[in-house]
Amino acid sequence: MKGAAAEARAAAHLAALGREVLARNYRIPGGEIDLITRDGDVLVFTEVRQRRRSRHGSAAESVTPRKLALMRRAALTYLTREFGRDDLPCRLEVLAVDGPPETGKLTLIPLDG
């Protein structure tokens, strides 16, 4: 798995922030959520992006509108499958790793909407 090291570091970082990791690599046809955590009463759906070099933009810049739409769809599916409803408090975010997965700079970016 290409991003496994970055995802493992991201999960450890989120756990160190006090979050409970509920799921990793939650997949539905056509979409995936890298990490699902609980931050108090809020479910957080996290896309992990890693770029070794900035030649083609930062890790955060690699998240496209299409990827965000797929994240939203996968998050709604998770909510309805796991909790039977889609109106629970939740949010989307990107955890960007710029540089090597083990030592690169981590940036947590909350997403609106």
pLDDT tens by residue, 26-71: 999 988 999 999 999 999 999 999 887 767 677 778 888 898 899 9
Domains of the chain: 4-111 (3.40.1350.10)
Residue 92 confidence (pLDDT):
96
Q: b/e per residue, 2-16, with b = 16+ CB within 10 A?
A: eeeebbebbbebbee
- Per the rule left: phi > 0, alpha: psi between -120 and 50, beta: everything else, 30 is left
pTM of the model: 0.91
